[in-house]
């Protein structure tokens, strides 16, 4: 009894200590944020609200958002059409299992997706997140060839500097050396990697760019299930913009050597690069395509893997006759309803003028960062602006400085970049460009 009373007293003391902590103190001591140390966590800023292209902090500051909440909130925050879709659906039902059941929000969303997608994509598999949609795409490709009686075609090929997510199959096709997943090398499936494309977007295409990939296809095609890549823009692997001709040649190689093409449009889809999809720059269609992030306008997690009818039928022709994947929250009605509203906004076409305006303004304003001694390169495509520094930046030092300057920009490695909401005003965009120039010049000269 005495020991139990002591345990109860300790539990009560711990409860009291935890509940007496401020939000900031509790967050630092008990919540683990992405890509952050539990021993020496980076500072976090508490959000109290968000509207349009601005985020309000609990401490009173209002920040212009340069990140679209990791590239997803393309319509801005608190959008009336997306709010209405969420409210209307939550009053009906927020979730039902997707096994054996369907519902109007999922059907409407998939109708819209297929009407917008590159030609030939006819099936939609709804997933929880971008990483899961990549897992689904890889499983789809491997199961396709197994069911065609060619189980030896089980490896993937990918360009270096790619990034496809943080789950294990997705990690396995990220850059094996420069990527963020090198610690897990011994636990990952070994795939084939080609040199990253070198011809930049807008330059004259070099035939030398495709030769290493051609050689790898010739050598490994009998064991390759699919080529996976990010169309035109390599995102978290370096924010690199490459020539659309490289993508066009990839399509040709896949056709020649009987290899499926998976295009990861999670970051590039829905207008971010100036085209509806990155694939559209090369006028090609993949066999499998992943979308996510902006799919719901950044309101909630949802992704999708689209494929051709040939792939769908091929997957289901052999044992076990079904595709072996089924997330618990697959086809979540609430997420589907908001995604449908988001795609309706995209279909209105305003994004084309918005993204073109962002690109034009960034080219005019962000280019002056080239004069800074710490800057290696400045590149802009669509609603993406990238300042690459010569050495990795100190995020712990730079992040609060951006906040002090009234903007939300989250750099990583040597990259200080912005992917703002499409609805951002020219004045707000100038604040982002000015803050990047000022903070880099103030911090690094």
Give, in degrees to the nearest 5, the angle at Cα 148 between 170 and 194: 40
Cα 60 to Cα 75: distance, rounded to the nearest angstrom:
24
Catalytic residue among 35, 258, 394, 404: 35
293 is catalytic: yes
The answer to whether residue 264 is catalytic is: yes
Q: Are 256 and 248 in contact (CB under 8 A)?
A: no
Q: Among this protein's residues, is 163 annotated catalytic?
A: yes
Q: What Cα–Cα distance (Å) separates residue 168 from each residue in 125, 164, 165, 178? A: 19, 10, 8, 17
Q: Which member of 128, 293, 414, 417 is catalytic?
A: 293
**Residue 166 annotated as lining a ligand binding site:** no
410 annotated as belonging to a binding site for a ligand = yes
Strand 407-408: give its sheet, edge to edge.
47-51, 54-57, 62-65, 407-408
**Full DSSP string of 101-114:** ---HHHHHHHHHHH
Residue 310 is labelled as binding a ligand: no
Residues with Cβ within 8 Å of residue 253, at least 6 apart in sequence: 210, 213, 214, 217, 227, 259
Say if residue 231 carries a ligand binding annotation. Answer: no
Task: For residues 108 and 334, give the distance between their C-alpha atoms in angstroms, rounded to a whole number.
Answer: 13
Active-site pick, 77, 144, 163, 422: 163
Residue carrying the six token digits 């003391």: 13
Instruction: Give the helix/strand (H/E) hosting 133.
Output: helix 130-147
271 known ligand binder: no
328 annotated among ligand-binding-site residues: yes
Q: Give the other-Cβ count within 10 Å of 287's Cβ.
A: 26
Q: Is 139 known to be catalytic?
A: no
210: left (phi over 0), alpha (psi -120 to 50) or beta: alpha
Angle at 53 between CA 48 and CA 58, to 5 degrees: 15
Check residue 412 and report its DSSP letter: B
Classify burial at 200, counting beta carbons within 10 Å of its beta carbon; exposed 0-12, middle 13-18, buried 19 or more: middle
- Catalytic residue chosen out of the listed positions 128, 264, 280, 287: 264
Rg (alpha carbons) of the chain, rounded to whole number? 23
CA 303 to chain centre: 10
Asked if residue 116 lies in contact with residue 347, where contact means CB atoms within 8 angstroms, the answer is: yes
Q: How far apart are CA 223 and CA 28, in angstroms?
A: 47
Query: Residue 112 half-sphere exposure, CB side, CA atoms within 13 Å?
Result: 23
The full DSSP string for 189-241 is: PP-EEEPPP-SBTTSPPPGGGTHHHHHHHHHHGGGEEEEEE-SSEE-TTT-EE
Binding-site positions? 70, 130-131, 163, 264, 293, 326-328, 410
Q: Which residues are catalytic?
A: 35, 163, 264, 293
Binding-site positions for substrate? 70, 163, 293, 326, 410
Binding-site positions for pyridoxal 5'-phosphate? 130-131, 264, 327-328
């Amino acid at each position: 009894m005495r020991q139990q009373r002591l345990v109860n007293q300790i539990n009560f003391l711990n409860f009291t200590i935890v509940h007496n902590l401020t939000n900031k103190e509790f967050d630092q001591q008990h919540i683990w944020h992405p890509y952050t140390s539990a021993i020496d966590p980076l500072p976090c800023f508490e959000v109290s609200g968000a509207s349009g292209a601005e985020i309000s902090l609990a401490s009173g500051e209002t920040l212009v958002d340069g990140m679209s909440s990791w590239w997803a909130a393309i319509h801005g925050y608190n959008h009336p059409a997306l709010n209405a879709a969420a409210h209307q659906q939550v009053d009906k039902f927020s979730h039902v299992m997707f096994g054996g059941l369907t519902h109007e929000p999922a059907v409407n969303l998939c109708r819209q997706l297929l009407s917008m997608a590159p030609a030939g994509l006819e099936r939609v598999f709804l997933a929880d997140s971008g990483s899961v949609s990549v897992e689904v795409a890889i499983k789809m490709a491997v199961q396709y060839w197994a069911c065609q009686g060619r189980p030896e075609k089980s490896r993937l090929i990918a360009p270096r500097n790619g990034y496809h997510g943080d789950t294990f199959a997705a990690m396995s096709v990220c850059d094996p050396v420069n990527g963020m997943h090198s610690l897990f090398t011994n636990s990952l499936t070994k795939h084939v990697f080609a040199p990253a494309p070198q011809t930049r977007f807008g330059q004259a295409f070099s035939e030398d760019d495709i030769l290493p990939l051609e050689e790898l296809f010739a050598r490994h095609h009998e064991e390759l299930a699919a080529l996976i890549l990010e169309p035109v823009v390599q995102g978290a692997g370096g924010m690199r913009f490459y020539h659309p001709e490289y993508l066009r040649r990839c399509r040709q190689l896949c056709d020649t050597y009987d290899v499926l093409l998976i295009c990861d449009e999670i970051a590039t889809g829905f207008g971010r690069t100036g085209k509806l999809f990155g694939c559209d720059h090369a006028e090609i269609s993949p066999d499998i395509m992943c979308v996510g992030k902006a799919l719901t306008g950044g309101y909630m997690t949802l992704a999708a893997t689209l494929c051709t009818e040939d792939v769908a039928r091929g997957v289901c022709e052999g044992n076990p006759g079904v595709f072996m994947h089924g997330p618990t929250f697959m086809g979540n009605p609430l997420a589907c309803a908001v995604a449908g509203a988001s795609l309706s906004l995209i279909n209105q076409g305003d994004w084309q003028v918005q993204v073109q305006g962002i690109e034009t303004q960034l080219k005019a304003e962000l280019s002056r960062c080239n004069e800074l001694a710490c800057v290696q390169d400045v590149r802009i495509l669509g609603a993406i602006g990238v300042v690459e520094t010569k050495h990795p930046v100190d995020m712990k030092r730079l992040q609060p400085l951006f906040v002090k300057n009234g903007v939300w920009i989250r750099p990583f490695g040597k990259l200080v970049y912005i992917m703002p909401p499409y609805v951002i005003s020219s004045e707000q965009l100038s604040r982002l460009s000015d803050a990047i120039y000022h903070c880099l010049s103030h911090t690094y000269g």
